[in-house]
Structure 1
């Protein structure tokens, strides 16, 4: 150890990196991205909100938005394309069951793959909507 290190140990002056939380930087995460714990911390800072510890994330979001005056417009989703995809999946499942009953493994495999692709499309359609 050098003389400087000994002196620092004796005085208890250790170099510590300053820890700055994200809240102090002036930028706050979007409310939807926060965890329930983080939302409770935000709710503590708003005097109109009581009982935040008993609330779930959805309730916390609604109460914080109301207290801050944030209006969220809910968009009505067009689900006709999704319903058509699901109808196609149901038909293919019936065809696959018939193919399995007729011991046509190759056709059943093709149908299973088509069903899988359509299911992936429905998941993408839900995310996009």
Structure 2
């Protein structure tokens, strides 16, 4: 029996569909077979993320304008302070974002806050590693 062109196209389509079904989607990969290298890369990314955020936080505060001598003139920090003062009737409220950042810039970031910053950076590094691996 001779096949028509339509029958052979249907047959080839069925063959392709069965082939496509055998290849798992990336979201269905078996993540239980991760090797030691995968764990090492993830742990390294987490450590790097935590260390980077703890080191970068004071540098970023200074770059924004929250310095050890106070808020730098014509900086983003001075704009924030001006907006907070206008919103609160002429003064910056104790415990506000501007007050906390000014304290951290002048006196340094306390150890407890560094721990939280490091944990957030470590989590971000772990998420990034999980996405890329």
Q: TM over 0.5, yes or no? A: no
- TM normalised by structure 1 equals 0.32
Query: Structure 2 length normalisation: TM-score?
Result: 0.31
More helix by share: 2
Report 1 or 2 for greater relative contact order, CA contacts < 8 Å, sequence distance ≥ 6: 2
